[in-house]
Amino acid sequence: MFSVLFPGQGSQSVGMVKDIYENFDYVKDLFKKADEALDFSISKIIIEGPKEILDQTENTQPAIFLVSYAIYQVIKKETPFDIDNANFFAGHSLGEYSALACSGVINFEETIKLLKIRAKAMQNAVPKNEGGMVAVLGQEINKINEIIYNNKNKYKCFLANDNSIGQVVVSGKLYDLEKFVNELKNLNIKSIKLPVSAPFHCILMNPATNIMREEIKNINFSQPKNNIVSNVTAEPSNNPDEIKNLLIQQIEKPVRWRESIINIIKAGNQKFIEIGPGKVLSGLVKRIDRNVELIQVNNINDLNNLKNL
């Protein structure tokens, strides 16, 4: 038994998947198809940068999806590994869209167009430089929830990501986050301000939810080939209507990644394959359970290793 993981925002880098892009013509065709669907050259931004343009939310989200989807197709065509036979697919935030496309729920063009709209809606939900996110280190989620609740009259912050044991992300307006961080300092709790320009996965994203509800409801969702683990519930689903509803909620609901991984492991999975740029998810999984097997696939060398499994 094995499961496939798809990364979210923060895993991107200029030149990601360049060696795969240069080696397979059908990957170049896929990139061209993405450019046409988006009406701009996401290919050029991925391969050449610059970093500050790639890191803009409206470019990052479709870029990471395109790279993840392309790698998935290469694994299917170039290796004997039966990647379609995964027990579970799980994606972190926008990675859930990669999971849905690779599992056949929505097609490639629809997915990348949705992500262009999603990224813009999330970026515009709160005026630029008014919101942000802070990663809290070395603390359990219950402790962070307690701090937020006990100080609700001083500041309004929201749990956004329960990533792993000892890593929780909090969203809010910048002035509220500043008060929250000061509170953490008083308690000798470490935190890091994340390089994002909006407070994702909290109620402040409600305007984006309303936009995405209208977009998603008009798309036909097919039966997935695999069980899709929802960020919202941390539970698997293969019901298209349920998956659609949860995807709408996902914009402003916390990402329950730690619970998702725990539930997959409890179901008997001990092997995870991370498909897409970087190794962020593998790091999070290792902190949840050191005994699992982790494989990353994001370059030619990784593909060759997969052939020998």
Write out the catalytic residue numbers. 93, 201
Helices (DSSP H) in 80-190: which residue ranges? Answer: 95-102, 108-124, 141-150, 174-186
The residue to which tokens 């008060």 are assigned: 179
CB distance 94 to 64 below 8 Å: yes
Q: Which of 249, 243, 250, 284 is nearest to 264 (CA)?
A: 284
CB distance 157 to 131 below 8 Å: no
DSSP 237-248: E--HHHHHHHHH
Q: Tell me how far apart the alpha carbons of residues 254 and 133 are, in angstroms, rounded to a whole number.
A: 12
Q: Cα angle vertex 84, ends 79, 85, to 5°?
A: 105
CB distance 72 to 273 below 8 Å: no
